[in-house]
Amino acid sequence: MREKVILAYSGGLDTTALIPWLKETFDYEVVCCCIDCGQGNELDGLEERAKLSGASKLYIENITDEFCDDFIMPCVKASAVYEHKYLLGTSMARPVIAKRLVEIARKEGATTICHGATGKGNDQIRFELGIKALAPDLKIIAPWRMTDVWKMESREDEIEYCKAHGIDLPFDHSHSYSRDRNLWHISHEGLELEDPANEPDFDNMLVLGVTPEKAPDEGEYVTMTFEAGVPKTLNGKEMKVSEIITELNALGGKHGIGIVDIVENRVVGMKSRGVYETPGGTILMEAHDQLEELILDRETLEAKKKLGSQFAQIVYEGKWFTPLREAIQAFVDVTQQYVTGEVKFKLYKGNIIKAGTTSPYSLYNESLASFTTGDLYDHHDASGFITLFGLPLKVRAMKMAEVENK
CB of 197 closer than 8 Å to CB of 99 = no
Query: Among 53, 79, 91, 94, which one carries the catalytic annotation?
Result: 94
Instruction: Tell me how far apart the alpha carbons of residues 211 and 200 are, in angstroms, rounded to a whole number.
Output: 11
Is there a contact between 284 and 309 (Cβ–Cβ < 8 Å)? Answer: no
Of the residues 10, 123, 126, 187, only one is catalytic, namely 123
**What are the angstrom distances between the C-alpha of 89 and each of 251, 316, 392?**
18, 10, 45
123 included as an active-site residue: yes
Q: Output DSSP code: residue 256.
A: T
Sheet order of strands, 230-234 included: 237-238, 230-234, 220-227, 341-348, 351-358
Q: How many CA atoms lie within 13 A of 233 on its CB side?
A: 11
Active-site residue identified among 65, 155, 178, 242: 178
Q: How far is CA 308 from the centre of its chain?
A: 14
Radius of gyration of the chain (CA): 26
Counting every residue, how long is the chain?
406
Q: Which of 14, 69, 70, 261 is catalytic?
A: 14
Residue 56: active-site member: no
Q: Is 71 helix (H, G, I), strand (E, B) or coil?
A: helix
CB 117 within 8 A of CB 109: no
Q: Which residues pair with 346 in a beta bridge?
A: 221, 353
| Euclidean distance between CA atoms 395 and 190, whole angstroms | 58
Report the catalytic residues.
14, 94, 123, 178
